Amino acid sequence: MAYLLAIGSAILYGSADFLGGLASRRASTIAVVLVSQFAGMVLLGVMLMLPILPPAEFTARDLLWGGVAGLAGGSGVALLYRALAIGRMALVAPTTAVCAVVIPVAAAMLLGEQPPARALIGIALAIVAIVLIGQQQEPAKDARAAATRGLPPGLGLALLSGVAIGLFFLALARTSSTAGLSPLMAARVASVGLFAVFAVATRRSLVIRGRTLAIVIAGGATDMLANALYLVATRYGPLSGVVTLASLYPASTVVLARVILGERLTGWQGAGIACAMVAVILIVG
């Protein structure tokens, strides 16, 4: 059951990323993030009021770690949506996923844990994957173009997003197993508050119209369902297996981008995505 929940969370995470990235191409990233996060918070509030969930016993520590997770995760989502808006979804999503699993491994090493050999191989493979994914679509046509050529659009933001999302997973993992979904509510309140203050301070327009608004709401609800499935899965199954399956979410983003947007990849970039997927499995396996 835990593995099925984890697979479901991976599918939903990838779908939410696709919807968020698509909406960010049509509206302000801040507006998309704030509205989607709020939509997810409303859905979570409804879920918590339903009698189908078991009773939860949470502490102030659980809420604190949930709040930290919300600040990190909200920032990561904002960076990710912006990266998806300006870059290729099939490149951005795997890069973010690789960074998001490298962070927990690095934290474990700093705390004195020794990852198995396969995890160390995965870290090295992740670096190779990022280099391959960063290859340009086409070679420079002249020396000047070659000199000014840089990372593909959105890749730098994807790296930063991966770091923030990795911190989100670390903070959420510090909550107790009896806390239920309460840490998610603390996380969502923190992220909504953060972006509401930012929007007011910068006087950003939060207007989202028509079909784009529906996409944003759907993305927020999908992301919250993914969070819930992931959190519940960690309560009933081994964390390594659950995280391995949940971390495969870029697959659904890539598939949706290929089917709906017709995005194409070069051979090197395709190899990079394959390496990224293998790296995720090795690092958290």
The predicted model scores a pTM of: 0.81
Distance from C-alpha of 167 to C-alpha of 147, rounded to nearest angstrom: 35
Q: Quote the pLDDT of residue 135.
A: 63
Radius of gyration of the chain (CA): 19
Q: Quote the pLDDT of residue 149.
A: 53
pLDDT at position 129 over 70: yes
Report helix, strand or coil for 284.
helix
Distance from C-alpha of 173 to C-alpha of 179, rounded to nearest angstrom: 11
Q: How confident is the model over 87-122, as pLDDT tens digits? A: 877 778 788 888 887 887 777 677 776 777 887 787
Q: Do the beta carbons of residue 189 and residue 63 sit within 8 Å? A: no
Q: How confident is the model over 150-185, as pLDDT tens digits? A: 667 788 898 999 999 889 888 887 888 888 889 999
Q: Quote the pLDDT of residue 114.
A: 75
Q: What sign for the dihedral angle of Cα 238, 246, 111, 72?
A: negative
Instruction: Out of 17-31, 131-145, 221-235, pick the least confident.
Output: 131-145
Residue ranges of domains in the chain: 2-284
Choose among 183, 236, 200: nearest CA to 72.
183
Distance of CA 83 to the CA centre of its chain: 12
Q: How confident is the model over 245-268, as pLDDT tens digits? A: 777 787 788 788 878 888 777 787
